[in-house]
Amino acid sequence: MHDRVHAEFAALCRRYPPGAAVLEVGAVPDASTLLALPELAGARRVGINLDGPSRFGGFEIVGGNANAMPEFADGAFDLVLCNAVLEHDPKFWLTLGEIRRVLRVGGIAMLGVPGYVPGQSLVAKLAGVLGRMVRSAWLDGVAASTPVLQVHDYPGDYYRFSEQAMREVFLAGFAVLEQRAVMVPPRLIGVGRKLG
């Protein structure tokens, strides 16, 4: 995980305290896991990962597929973290459903995915300026483009997401508290509070 993304999640956990129980979907047993954030100290922390089970830093990582998490009761968590996972999940919508299920009403979900934000790159901005001077379908296309993260095929790399998808799909059924794109190529981070 990039240091900037890690710092963003740490800042969000300071802004939205974790409560008593935290789940990280896609937790790994090393220092890069979000469960190791100092802001989560004092909360019961558990992770789930296809490669589990394992233990690290005083918390457990359960082995399992986040598409179905029968080991966790409805409303069991106050905070669910998920970063750099959903793009690798061929059925990410099932995981989103499970995140909603295991999060208590009023609980917080923090999600990070690779995205695209049209016109974000310097090349796209320059093409936009030139495109206003000279009409060109090619320049219009470049101006609407965005750099994306390279494919990293473990365990598969299926998706890149839009800001609209974060707001209307990932955080459906949530009050959207924050949404931002960080870095270039963009990592989209969304925060929502589960509605009743």
Q: What is the pLDDT of residues 5-42, one digit of tens each?
A: 999 999 999 999 999 999 999 999 999 999 999 999 99
Q: What is the pLDDT of residue 157?
A: 85
Average pLDDT on 121-131 reads: 49
C-alpha pair distances (Å), 91 with each of 85, 87, 100, 104: 11, 9, 15, 23
Confidence class for position 118, pLDDT limits 50, 70, 90: low
**0.75 surpassed by pTM:** yes
Q: Which CATH superfamily is domain 3-116+148-194 in?
A: Vaccinia Virus protein VP39 (3.40.50.150)
